[in-house]
Amino acid sequence: MGHEYSGEVVEVGDDVTDFSVGDHVVEEPIHDCGSCFQCKNGQPNVCQNFEITGMHNDGAYTEYTTVKPRDLHHIPDDLPLGQASITEPLSIATRAVFDQSNVTPGDTVLVEGPGPIGVLVAAVADAMGADVIVSGLGKDTEYRLPLVEQLGIETADIQTTDLEDTVETRTDGIGFDVVFDTTGHKSGVEMAIEHVRKGGQVVVVGLPGAPSEVFMTPVVRGEVDVNTSYGSTWQNFEQAIRLLSAGAIDADAIIDRSFSVDEPTAAFEAFLESETCKPVFSFTDI
């Protein structure tokens, strides 16, 4: 935890030349080794020897932290630090949509799960001009699906609405061009395959905590492309920063609650109860 943050440089080492005191920055939290096969093959996000901020070393749930310059990105002065704080999760979405999917303007896209990553994937696909719908159930319907609708994106409560009816009305029964599974539930990929069209694509972004079972015959016969997306790269961070700077993503709507660092329990409880989508901790006025 503590790997998604923005901040201001307050001190630099003697050999640092790319950053200065006062610069606004975000950190790329997956630190690759630069020497393994994946790194040399242009896949640093799946480095064999990676270290992640907040997992292998201390995160940013503190007023100050130290970071190597190679892991930092400049933030434009006109981009508020509060908005910039979602650069990391937004970079996961830019990778999923821009790099790992076949989404083009006008495509029908289903995003399963209105968690933070799902909302950002939907927002990026929508910004591309895709015809997006986000599905959810249970507690999602009380806050997160209405938040998605506030972003101008259609939603489907799959507990009260038969998703097959949505497939019929939105795609003439053909199925969605691309389905993103961001649920992190073992049934997510199964449902995605049920609702993607023949020749379409499923992109698994969530990390299920249990094995998924998929009957592969219709996948093979339908030539359904099943792909995955993990983490992000330097380019994906830069894409996220440009989207935020251009106002293409409504960051203020997505960053819906700010908590003091003195009330961490309240923040995590609100998130787990789906009462918020992307809360932030503030150390100052953002």
Q: What is the C-alpha to C-alpha distance for residues 120 and 139, in angstroms, rounded to an integer?
A: 19
What is the identity of the amino acid at 208? P
The yes or no reply on domain 6-89+233-282 and CATH 3.20.20.70 is no
- Spans of all domains in the chain: 6-89+233-282, 101-228
As a whole number of Å, the end-to-end CA separation of the chain is 20
Query: Are 6-89+233-282 and 101-228 the same fold in CATH?
Result: no
Please give the structure tokens belonging to residue 199. 């020749």
Q: How far lies 234's CA from each of 24, 31, 95, 286, in Å?
A: 17, 11, 10, 25
Question: What architecture is domain 101-228?
Answer: 3-Layer(aba) Sandwich (3.40)
Task: Report the 10 Å Cβ neighbour count for 76.
Answer: 11
Handedness of CA 174, 115, 239, 28 (dihedral sign): negative
Is 278 strand, coil or helix?
A: coil
Q: What is the C-alpha to C-alpha distance for residues 130 and 221, in angstroms, rounded to an integer?
A: 26
Q: What pTM was computed for the model?
A: 0.93
Per-residue confidence of the chain (286 residues) as pLDDT tens digits? 778 889 999 999 999 999 999 999 999 999 999 999 999 999 999 999 999 987 777 777 778 889 999 999 999 999 999 999 999 999 999 999 999 999 999 999 999 999 999 999 999 999 999 999 999 999 899 899 999 999 999 999 999 989 999 999 999 999 999 999 999 999 999 999 999 999 999 999 999 999 999 999 999 999 999 999 999 999 999 999 999 999 999 999 999 888 777 778 888 888 888 788 787 877 765 4
